Structure 1
C-alpha cells in the first residue's frame, strides 16, 4: 500500500472502513432519494458512481490492513501435491516467499512493539478456548465440546493455530507472495541447508529431489540418508515411477539387505592406493592412533597390490581374509609369480621346507606357516635374485613377529569385521560370479552414465560406525569418479560419447555424520565434474565436532555459496546468516510533551506547553539471530545469488492421487522385488526346486497359513510383510540346512 506519510503504519484499526460505510450510504441516498440532497435523478446516479468508486478504493486499503493483521496471527494455508510442484529446466523452485528488504525489517520492528501486541498475539477468546480444552479434556461428557473447540475448520472462530510454532509475523510482513526461484547455475556452487530437528529439512529435500527427478535433462539424483527415512524413500520411488525413470532407480539400504542393490565401495579406483585410503580414513587418527592408522594403511595397500596383480577385484571381505591370513596370500602370489620367474623354484622351496625343524626355525617367524618360512629362506639365498615390488611388500609384512603384527593391525580388524558381518557382507562384498543373485551391482560411474536415481539408506540408528564407514567410502569413491570425469569426461572409453555435461545432484541429509577428509575436496573441486551438493545439517558445531578443527569446518562452510536457514537453536549457526547481511535504517516514533513556566509577572501567560511525535532513525541489523530462532516450522531464509535474501515457506504435502501410487512401504518393497527380480515368491529363492520340502517345513507352512489366512502372494506379503517373512524364513533356513546336509548339496 502506497504511503504518503513519513512512517508506514499497518498495525492499527482499519479506519478506512468508516469512509467505506459513509460512501455506501451516500451512494444509496443518491440513487433512491436524490431530491433529499437537491440532485436530479441523472446527477444522483453519477454522484452514486463516484461515491462507490471512492468507497471501493478505501475498501481495498481497509482490506490490506485487515489481511495484514490476520496474517500476523495465522498465515494462509499453503499445500501442494507432488505433481503440482513446478519444474523448470533453468530454475529450482524453493517455495512461496518474497525478497527481504529494509521495509520488512521496519515492519517486523513495528510488530515487536508493546502497543501493537493486540494485533499480533492471539485474542482473549482464543486463549479462553485453549484453557477450556485443557480443563474439560478429563471429562467424558465434555468431549464433544472439546472436539468442537479444537476443530480446525474456518467455521470455528477459535480454531487452534497450526502446530508450526514460531512467530508468524516474520513472514506476515509481506502480503504479496511470489514463487522463489534459484537459477540452476547457482547450484554448482553447492547449497547448505541448516535447521534443527523436525523443522522441515526433509520436506525441503523432497521438494528439491522431486524437481531433480522430473527435470527434462534427466539429472543424476543421489540421496544419502543416514537414518533410512522410509517416507523419503517412498517419495523418491513414486517420483521415479511418475517420471518414467523407475528402471534407473537404485536402492542401497543397510536395513533392507533383501531389497537393496549391491555396491562394492572399494571395487572401483583410479589409483591402487585409494583403496587403502578409503579404509584408513574410517579409523581414528588422534594421538597414538595416528601411528596405527598409518600401519593399517600400509598393510591394506600391500594386500591390495597383491590381489590386483593376481587379477582380483578388491572387496572388504577379501581384504579382511588377506589381513588375517597374509601367509596364504603370500603363498598364492608366489605360486603364480615365482614359478614363472624362476622355473623349478618351488622344488627348491620344498627342500628348504623339509630341512626346517624347531631348532632352526627363525625366532621372528614363530607362528608363521612352514611354507612361508621356507620361501623366505629360499629368497634369501645368495644365488636367488628376484625383483618384484609386490612380493617384497608381502615379505616385509610377514617378517614382522606375528604377535607384533596382530597388535599393529588391531584397530583395522574390528572395522573390517563390522563391514563383513551378517547380510551386510552380501551388499558390500558382492559375488560377481553368483548368477543366482539377481540384485543389481552398481558403481558411481555406471549410475552417472545411466543418469540414475540412487537412494542410499545407511541405517545409522542401528549401527552408527558401519554407516559412517560406508558413507565415507562412498564419498571417497565419488571424489575419485569426479576426478576421472574432470580429466577425461563422463563418456571416456565409450564408442559414441554423449554431448554436454551431466548434472550430478547429491542430497546429503545429516551430512556431518558422513563427512570425512574426502568431503572437503568433493565440495571444493567437484563442481568442475558437474557435482552439485545440497547438504543438510543442524548446526555449524556438528561440522566442527566431526572434523575436529574449526579451520576445516570453516573451509567446508566456505565452499557453500547458497545458504538456506530454517529454525536453529544455536546463535553461532544463526550468525552464519545474519553476519553476512548489511545494516539498515529503522524509524521509531517517540511521543514528545513539554511544558515551560513563564517567570514574567506582568504577562497574562503563566506557562506554555507543546506536544507531538518525533521520528528518529537508527541503524540495526537486517536480521537478528533471535529472528532465526523464532522461525515457524517449514519456513526459512535463503541467501543466494551473491547475497540476495529471500524469505520463503515450503508447501505442506497433500496426499497423492492416482492408481499408480503405492499405499505403503510394503507396496514399495513389493515393487522393488519385481524390479530387482528377487521374486514375488521369495521362498523359491531360499529353497529353489528341485529341493524337496521336508514334512517339518510343510507343517510350519500349514500352521502359519491357518493363523494367517491371507494368501502368501504379493498382496499378502504387503499386508503383513515383516511378521510373515520372518516367521517363514526361520523354518525355511532350517529346512534348507537339513536338506543340503542329506543331499550333500551346498
Structure 2
C-alpha cells in the first residue's frame, strides 16, 4: 500500500528546472574539459571538477526525464485502430475469461484530480502544442489560431501509463448507460461492446431510432468476420424491401398484454385518458374473442375488427363456446338456433347472442363473450368517437409495406414469407438490428419502437418464469434511448436482469429522458437501474452534474500566498510588512463537471463495478477488408 503524506505537494506542470540544471552541469563539465585540454598543467584537478559536474548531471537526469516525459504526454494519443480478429482472439483467450474490454486507459485517482486542477490554473490551451519556429516568433503578427483536435487531448496525458480497461461480465449485468454529444463516439463504443458480445455467443438486439447505417453495417460486418453471418437479422423502416418481417404481437403469456402493448403508444394523461382506456377495453374484448376462436392476434386483424365491426367475430366466438359447452350435441343445437338465417348475416349473429343470453349465460357464463357482446351492442356513434385516437396509430402500423412487414394479411401470405419474432430470434442467438428511421417519421418509428420494447419485456417475463438465468445472455443495445423510453422500457430495466437481459443504453443528455418521460422523477427512475455509467464529451451541465454526483469527493491542495503591509497613525514613516505561504486543502469533485465538456472524441470517464472511476479511450474497429484503407 502506498504511503500517504499529508504534506506532500509538487507542481507537475512547472518549468523543467531539473533539465536546466542538467544543461548547466554538462555545460560546466564541457568548459572544464576544454580548459584542461588547452592547459595540460592543470589537467588533473580540472578533470576532477568536470567529473563532479557530470556526476551531478547524471543525478538530475532521471528527475528531468520524468518531468519531460510527463509533460510530453500532454500532446495526447493518436487514434487507436484494432482489428475485429484481434478482439475475437482477446475474447476467446484463456488469459482473460469472462471479462469485457472497455478500451485503453487507467483508474482515475485523487492524484489525477490534483494534477488536473493544477493544469486548469495554467495556460492549458497551450499544452501539447508544437513550439513556434523562429520565423513565427519574429513575425509582426501571430499566426491564426485553429484547433488541431476536437477536445483537449492533454486530459488523458495526466497518467503516463495506460493499459486495457477490463470489467468482469458479471459486473455488467446491472445495465450500462453511455452519455455523449453528437459525434463524440457512442456508436464506436457500441461497436466494441457488440463485437465482444457476438464473440461470446450472446443474443443481441440493437434498437436504433435514427437508423444509423454505420451501426448496422458494423454489426453485420462483425458477424461476417466472426463466422456468424447467418445470425444477422435486419429490420429497417427505410429499407423494408430488404428487411426481415417481424411480428411485434407474437410473444405474450396473457391476452391482456396485446391491447396493453398497442395502447402503450397512445397518450394516457389529461383529456386523452378516457379515449385510451376505451380503446384498451375494446381491443381487450376483441383479442380475447380471437384467442377463443383460435386466431393469432396481429395488427392487421385487430384493425379489421376495430374498423369493420365485430359481428362475425362475435358469432364465431359464441359458436366456439357452444361447442365447448355442448360438445357432441353442439352442432345440433347450433343448427336449431340459426335455422333459416344466412351465416354471417346480422340476424344470424343476433340469434346466437340471444341464445347465449337466455340459455347459456346463467349456467355457462363466459366473460369473453360478455365483453365482445357488449362491444357489439355499444352505441355506434359513441364508439366511433372513442376510437378516434386509436385508428391513426393502427393505420400507420398496418399500411403499405410496413403493414405487410409486421403482420401477414392472410395465411397464404404468411406461408410465402417467414415472419420472425423476438422470442424465436433470441432462442437462436441472432444478432438483430432494428432501424426505426425516426428522422423521417418520428411518430411511426416511436410507436414501433415502443411495441418492440413491450415485446422484449414479454419475452423477458417468459424467460424469467420458465427458464431463469440458465440460458444464453441477451444483450439489448438502445441508441438514442430517450426516443423510445416508456413504462415498458423502465420495466425491462427493472426486471430484465433476472431473465439474463443486459441493457446498454446511449443518449445525449439527462434532459432527453426528462422530456420524453414527462418528469425528472421518471428519468431518475430510469437511471437508478443503471450500475455502470460512461460519459464521452457532454456539453449539458445537468448531465455533467448527474454523472459527477456518482463519484466520491476528494481533497486537493494548493499553496496560498499571503502578504501584508502596515503602518502606525502616529508614525507614518515607520512601516512593516509580512509575506508567507501556506498549504491549503479543500474538498473537490473527483472529476470537475466542466471537464466532461473538454473530452476529445472517443475518450470517456466511467463509473463501473460499484464505484471504480476510470478514464479511457475507445479504439476504432476494422475488418480485414478495411485493413489497407485504414493503414493508408
TM bin, normalised by shorter chain, reads: 0.7 to 0.9
Match of 2:164 in 1: 179
Q: 1:618 to 1:371 in 2, by over 3 A?
A: same
* Paired position in structure 1 for 2:105: 97
Distance 2:297 2:332 in 1: 30
The answer on whether the counterparts of 1:168 and 1:632 sit within 8 Å (CA) in structure 2 is: yes
How much does 1:438 deviate?
A: 6.5
Taking the TM superposition and a 5 Å limit, the aligned residue runs for 1:212-251 are: 212-215=197-200, 218-251=201-234
TM-score (norm 1): 0.72
Q: Deviations over 1:181-233 (max 9, x none)?
A: 22211110111111222222112111211221123xx1122211111111011
- d(CA) in 2 for partners of 1:12, 1:281: 60
Partner of 2:465: 487
After superposition, give the CA deviation of every residue in 1:248-301 in whole Å (9 maximum; x if it has no partner): 111122221122111111112111111111111111101222222122112212
From the superposition, tell whether residues 52 and 414 of structure 1 become closer, same or farther in structure 2 (CA, over 3 Å): farther
Map of 2:522 onto structure 1: 552
Q: Secondary structure at the match of 1:256?
A: helix
Distance 1:36 1:177 in 2: 55
Counterpart in the other structure of 2:597: 629
Structure 1 pair 36–616 and aligned structure 2 pair: CA distance change class (3 A): farther
1:415, distance to aligned residue in structure 2 (A) = 1.0
2:624 equivalent in structure 1: 657
Q: Tell me which moved more, 291-300 or 373-382.
A: 373-382
Mapped to 2, the partners of 1:434 and 1:243 lie a distance apart of 37
Matches within 5 A, 1:443-592: 443-489=421-467, 500-592=470-562
**Aligned partners of 2:118 and 2:337: how far apart in 1?**
92
- Separation in structure 1 between the aligned mates of residue 411 and residue 394 of structure 2, nearest angstrom: 22
| 1:658 alignment partner, SS class | helix
Cα displacement (A) at 1:595 = 5.6
- Say whether the 8 Å CA contact 1:82–1:210 is kept in structure 2: no
Q: Provide the rounded CA distance (Å) in 2 between the counterparts of 1:27 and 1:349.
A: 121
SS of 2:432's equivalent?
A: strand
Match of 2:294 among 307, 311, 319: 311
Q: Deviation at 1:501?
A: 3.7
Provide the C-alpha distance between the structure 1 equivalents of 2:608 and 2:622, rounded to a whole number of angstroms: 31
Shift of the 381–437 alpha-carbon distance from structure 1 to 2, 3 Å rule, reads closer
Distance 1:26 1:537, change over 3 A: same
Q: Does 1:287 align with 2:270?
A: yes
Task: Provide closer, same or farther for how the CA distance between residues 392 and 173 of structure 1 changes in structure 2, counting only shifts above 3 A.
Answer: same
Tell me the CA shift for residue 319 of structure 1: 1.0
Alignment of 1:40-51 (within 5 A): none
Shift of 1:609: 5.5
Equivalent in the alignment of 2:16: 14
- 1:81 paired to 2:65: no
Aligned counterparts, 1:27-46, within 5 A: 38-39=43-44
Conservation of the 8 A alpha-carbon contact between 2:175 and 2:493: yes
Q: Is the 8 A contact 2:175 2:503 kept in 1?
A: yes
- Tell me which residue corresponds to 2:175: 190
Q: 1: CA distance between counterparts of 2:440 and 2:83?
A: 31
Distance 1:482 1:307 in 2: 24
Distance in 2 between the 1:81 and 1:570 partners? 31
1:518 alignment partner, SS class: helix
Structure 1 residues 338 and 12: CA distance shift in structure 2, 3 A: same
Given that 1:195 and 1:568 are in contact with CA atoms closer than 8 Å, whether structure 2 keeps it comes out as yes
Q: Deviations over 1:414-456 (max 9, x none)?
A: 1111110110112211468558977643222322322221111
Matches within 5 A, 1:61-460: 61-72=63-74, 74-83=75-84, 84-85=86-87, 86-87=90-91, 88-114=96-122, 116-117=123-124, 119-120=126-127, 125=132, 161-165=147-151, 167-215=152-200, 218-325=201-308, 326-338=310-322, 341=326, 342-347=330-335, 349-350=337-338, 369-381=346-358, 387-430=365-408, 433-434=411-412, 440-460=418-438
2:585 corresponding residue in structure 1 = 617
Deviation per residue, 1:676-735 (Å, 9 max, x gap) = xxxxxxxxxxxxxxxxxxxxxxxxxxxxxxxxxxxxxxxxxxxxxxxxxxxxxxxxxxxx
C-alpha RMSD over aligned residues = 3.8
Asked if structure 2 preserves the Cα contact closer than 8 Å seen for 1:320 and 1:416, the reply is yes
Change (3 A) 1:238 1:249: same
Q: CA deviation at 1:528?
A: 1.4
Q: What is the TM-score when the length of structure 2 is the normalising length? A: 0.84
User: Is this contact kept in 1: 2:72–2:128, CA < 8 A?
Assistant: no
**Is the 2:481–2:505 Cα contact (8 Å) retained in structure 1?**
yes
1:667-678 superposed matches below 5 A: none
Q: 1:57 to 1:250 in 2, by over 3 A?
A: farther
Whole-Å separation in 2 of the counterparts to 1:159 and 1:64: 30
Q: Cα gap change, 1:409/1:524 in structure 2, threshold over 3 Å: closer, same or farther? A: same
Structure 1 residues 515, 613: closer, same or farther in 2, change over 3 A? same
* Residue 70 of structure 1, CA deviation: 4.1
Q: Which 10-residue stretch deviates more, 573-582 or 4-13?
A: 4-13
**How has the CA–CA distance of structure 1 residues 618 and 336 changed in structure 2, closer, same or farther, with 3 Å as cutoff?**
closer
Could you say what secondary structure the match of 1:534 adopts?
Answer: strand
Which consecutive residues of structure 1, in runs of 5 or more, have no partner in the other structure?
136-148, 150-157, 355-367, 491-498, 664-746
- Counterpart of 1:724? none
2:583 and 2:60 map into 1 onto residues whose CA distance is 27
User: Counterpart of 2:506 in 1: which secondary structure?
Assistant: strand
> Using the alignment, how far apart are the partners of 1:29 and 1:108 within structure 2?
41
Partner of 1:357: none
SS in 1 for 2:206: strand
Taking a change above 3 Å as real, the CA distance of residues 397 and 159 of structure 1, as seen in their structure-2 partners, is same
Three-state SS of the structure 2 residue aligned to 1:588 is: strand
Report the Cα offset of residue 517 of structure 1: 1.0
Structure 1 residue 660: deviation in Å? 11
- Does the residue aligned with 2:460 lie in a helix, a strand or coil? helix
Q: Is the contact between residue 77 and residue 153 of structure 2 (CA under 8 Å) also seen in structure 1?
A: no
CA distance in 2, matches of 1:564, 1:320: 43
CA offset at residue 598 of structure 1? 10
Distance across 1 between alignment mates of 2:189 and 2:626: 26
